[in-house]
Amino acid sequence: MIALSNRSFTALPEGIEHPNYDRERLSAGIVHIGLGNFHRAHQSWYLHRLMQQGVAHDWAIVGAGVREYDKVMRSKLAKQDYLTTLIELGPDSISAEIVGPMIDYLPVEESNAALIRRIACPDIRIVSLTVTEGGYYVDPVSGGFEGQHPDIVHDIQNPDAPRTAFGAIVAALKLRLDDGLGPIALQSCDNLVGNGDVLRQTVVSLARLQDPPLADWIDENCSFPNSMVDCIVPSTGQRELDLVQSLGLSDAAPVSHENFRQWVMEDDFCAGRPEWDRAGATFSDNVHGFEMQKIRILNAGHQVLAGAAEIIGLHTISDAMEHDVLRSFFHVVMTDEVLPHVASVPGMSPETYLQLVAKRFSNPTIADTVRRVAFDGSSRHPGFVLPSIRDALKKGAPFNGLALVEALWARMCEGIREDGSEIAENDPLWLDLNTFAKQARTEPKAWLGMKNIYGDIAEISDFADTFEMWLRAIYNTGTEATLRLYLEGN
């Protein structure tokens, strides 16, 4: 078994691609906060492809984290020179490559002092983040900044020892301003509509509560490019560890991913950027169109499948697509109730994109678990599913199946599958969701009482009544029978 290191490249098994660049000569240009699987399979991969072409060697990544669990990832990656094995799982093939754009991982400290100092260094020109859709302190009702959150209150009171990534960014930008180093680009790589705009709101709003002149400088000088990111990247478990070992490699943190990637972003980087387009990324003024297509179809499509699949007891998304009734439900809901609200983008109609997504979801080699897809539904349903419901209600269009999707999520959050097995806690708001779900078993509309999720939708009687009908049907006749009932009417 070959352990990953800068010295092991010559001993790698045949067919495994590795960096052809001298990693000892790389210099940093990016600090990335949130070194999860997605970043290493996506942004890091694009940068690796550039480095393989002999360019962007001054744009290496410095990893960072602000949570206790980030210490574990730092330890794993440090022992293997911050290298990662990427395992590409095509429907009929498996291949692997080793990527090496990351050259350091900052100590994870309660005060975030190391992170603040590193962002404030002259060589850093981009700070990027993957902190999950629900991690930007957005008020779920107003859409504004959640300035009263305890983490934010802490950062306001302790600007030199912040708790959040955003507090660390603001503190570092203050140092940059004081030292005359100039602004940088701040780049969200999370699945959010207008992710750059959301990041701007969070950073500038926090800065304004600490130091209004600093907030003005950030808002006027730093750039926040919007982007759309896409690649299905399962969580790493024993399957992935066994898979990388079967290739003859010892990697404590391998990443598997599908054989598809897409990255569309605004070309708005105030301090320069790598030539990501040379590695296949797209720079566009219409990021919102690409983003809308992906979030409304792929991300919402995941939620259409996840609730029913979890209740029935299916393990992976490909399992869900093999289930005749659930697959039909997915296609009908997406075609009749989602696609009408999605516009085409250059080279891709909504109908063609749905076909592509269905093919990707059906890939049997991607063990993308239902549990992973269903995680954080309290952020994903408001972000991915409810916008189509709102559009349908405004236009007088069908929403019957989407109301059923919400009923299935409510049933899932009761925490018991139809076979009696337990659905383990799977959301930052699980205790609240579970409480409302149990109440909704006898009073279905109680679920819609969560204003932080449903807002004004709950007050629209047509939707509330349809939701109640479907949730009662699920409890009275079962999930599969309810799905068949929907399909018979469409």
CA gap 113, 122 in Å, rounded: 17
> At 64, which helix (H) or strand (E)?
strand 60-64
Closest CA relative to residue 380, chosen from 203, 201, 193, 198: 193
Sheet with 102-105, strands from edge to edge, namely 102-105, 60-64, 28-33, 126-129, 185-188
At 13 the pLDDT is 86
CA gap 81, 103 in Å, rounded: 7
CA gap 171, 151 in Å, rounded: 15
Torsion of CA 270, 275, 280, 286, to 10 degrees: 30
Residue-by-residue pLDDT tens, the chain, 490 positions: 899 999 999 898 888 999 999 999 999 999 999 999 999 999 999 999 999 999 999 999 999 999 988 999 999 999 999 999 999 998 888 899 999 999 999 999 999 999 999 999 999 999 999 998 779 999 877 889 999 999 999 999 999 999 999 999 999 999 999 999 999 999 999 988 899 999 999 999 999 999 999 999 999 999 999 999 999 998 898 989 999 999 899 999 999 999 999 999 999 999 999 999 999 999 999 999 999 999 999 999 999 999 999 999 999 999 999 999 999 999 999 999 999 999 999 889 999 999 999 999 999 988 899 999 999 999 999 999 999 999 999 999 999 999 999 999 999 999 999 999 999 999 999 999 999 999 999 999 999 999 989 988 989 999 999 999 999 999 999 999 999 999 999 8
Task: Provide the residue ranges of all domains of the chain, joining segments of one domain with +.
Answer: 2-284, 288-488
At 438 the pLDDT is 97
CA gap 326, 49 in Å, rounded: 38
The rounded radius of gyration (Å) of the Cα atoms in the chain is 23
CA gap 203, 402 in Å, rounded: 34
Domain 2-284 of CATH type 3.40.50.720: yes
Q: Do domains 2-284 and 288-488 have the same CATH topology?
A: no
At 320 the pLDDT is 98
At 222 the pLDDT is 98
Q: For residue 4, how many C-alpha atoms fall within 13 Å in the half-sphere facing its CB?
A: 28
Domain 288-488 of CATH type 3.40.50.10470: no
At 93 the pLDDT is 85
CB distance 414 to 481 below 8 Å: no
- Whole-angstrom CA distances from 4 to 45, 106, 352, 357 are 17, 20, 40, 34
At 266 the pLDDT is 97
Cβ count within 10 A of residue 465: 13
105 phi, psi to nearest 5 deg: -140, 115
